[in-house]
Amino acid sequence: MSETATLAGGCFWCLEAVYQSVRGVEKSVSGYMGGDVDNPTYEQVCSGRTGHAEVVQLTFDPAVISYEQLLEIFFEIHDPTTLNRQGNDVGTQYRSAIFYHTEEQRGIALRAMASLQLSDPVVTEVSPASAFWPAEAYHQDYFRNHQDQPYCAYVIAPKLAKYRKLKHET
Please state the pTM of the whole predicted model: 0.93
152 labelled catalytic:
no
> Active-site residue among 11, 14, 46, 152?
11
Q: How far apart are CA 54 and CA 52, in angstroms?
A: 7
Q: How far apart are CA 96 and CA 57, in angstroms?
A: 14
pLDDT in the model for residue 160? 85
Q: How far apart are CA 17 and CA 5, in angstroms?
A: 15
pLDDT in tens, 70-84: 999 999 999 999 999
Contact of 117 with 48, CB cutoff 8 Å:
no
pLDDT band at 167 (very low <50, low <70, confident <90, very high): low
Domains, the chain: 3-165 (3.30.1060.10)
pLDDT in tens, 99-146: 999 999 999 999 999 999 888 999 999 999 999 999 999 999 988 898
